[in-house]
A = this chain, B = another copy of it.
């Protein structure tokens, strides 16, 4: 039996690591890999020291980026919490299949034992959307059932409703939000969740999205699912330890992850989107001629690769 006969499903680069294989090129469509190979150094940007966090989840590194344009107050609070060491020693307390992985202080229900938020705010105003008008969105031409407009901005997926002058980050795979209670101003970034399944877009405009994972999703998506209601873990010994969460600016330069991110305001990005819209390569016999904002990952690459 040949390798391809029984094993291959196909190669699609879904969450956007350049290291992952991508579908093969068929003329005249260049493959995503070719497009990236032909990119210019200026198509890439460095990690933002003030808005990138490195989290240690049970020994694995997760790198995520905040979205200060969309949630400035939450970004500032998370920065403060990280800088003061609030997250160090917390844990993943919830993993609900096809929905979210959530982390925070397991003792946060108990005022006597809950960790102090230090200099951070306990309550923040809802940052569910920002004004749409004038935003330089790299807009997709493809229809999205959940929003009249979709695209990318600052490396983040974006959905928008021009009629109501609203733009927001849709709940795509890898997107991070701040847990809240019934009051819209009850989140503060001390407990965060990441989407690990089919985009639950019903959450859009109901909760503050604070950023997205750039690298290391598998440390959050492959965790055992919790068996209590909503996927909470039953017992403290099931909690997955988060030993530290550091802001890039607080990490010595030599120890920072050497990663760069493709800019989504470039022709390279637009070519990449176009190549995903159309099937290419020998495997495909049908092309969707469509792409959804949540099926596009923004590529990252090691900085060494750029210099090589």
A residues near B (Cβ < 8 Å) are 1-12, 14-15, 20-21, 93-100, 102, 104-105, 108-111, 114, 128, 142-146, 172-174, 177, 179-182, 184, 186, 188, 190-191, 193, 196-207, 217-218, 221-225, 229-230, 232, 276, 279, 282-288, 290-292, 294-295
Say whether B288 contacts A202, CB under 8 Å: yes
Choose one: B1, B14, B142, B201; the contact of A288 (CB below 8 Å).
B201
Say whether B230 contacts A295, CB under 8 Å: no
Say whether A108 contacts B283, CB under 8 Å: no
Closest to A220 in B: B97
Q: Which residues of B contact A218 (CB under 8 A)?
A: 97, 224-225
User: 12 more A-B contacts (CB under 8 A) besides A5-B186, A7-B102, A172-B198?
Assistant: A1-B108, A6-B104, A7-B93, A9-B100, A11-B229, A12-B200, A14-B198, A97-B222, A173-B197, A182-B282, A201-B295, A206-B279
Say whether B204 contacts A105, CB under 8 Å: no
Q: Which residues of B contact A174 (CB under 8 A)?
A: 98
Say whether B198 contacts A197, CB under 8 Å: yes
Q: Which residues of B contact A288 (CB under 8 A)?
A: 146, 201-202, 204
Closest to A105 in B: B6
Q: Which residues of B contact A93 (CB under 8 A)?
A: 7
Q: Which residues of B contact A102 (CB under 8 A)?
A: 7, 9
